[in-house]
Chain A
Amino acid sequence: MDLDFFSAILSATIRTGTPLLLVALGEMLVEKSGVLNLGQEGMLLIGAVAGFIAASQSDSLVLGFMAAIAGGIGMAFIFAIVTLFLNANQIATGLALTIFGVGLSAFLGADYEGKTIAGLTKTPIPLLSDIPFIGALFFDHDVIVYVSWTLFIGMWLLFKKSTLGLNIRAVGENPDAANAIGINVIPLRFALVLVGGALAGLAGGYLSLVYTPLWTEDMSAGRGWIALAIVVFASWKATRVLLGAYLFGFASILHLAAQGMGVNLSANLLAMLPYVATIVVLVILSRNKLKLQLSEPLALAKPWRKE
Chain B
Amino acid sequence: MTKSETLDKHQDLTAETTTSRSPESMSAVVWRRFRRHPGAVAGAIVLSIIVIAVLLAPLSPYDPVKSDIKNRYQAPSIEHPFGTDGLGRDLLTRVLYGGRVSLFVGVMVVIITSIIGIPTGMVAGYFGGWVDNILMRILDAALALPTLLVLILLSAILREADVPYLKSNSVMTIAIVIGILSWMTVARLVRAIFLSLRETEYVTAARALGASTFVIMVAEILPNGFGPIIVEATLGIGYAIMIESGLSFLGFGIMPPTPSWGNLLSNAQSHLIEYPWLAIFPGLMIFLTIIAINYIGDGLRDALDPYKVFSKIKE
The finding on whether chains A and B are genuine partners in a shared complex, rather than unrelated, reads no
Binding site for B on A (CB under 8 A): none
Binding site for A on B (CB under 8 A): none
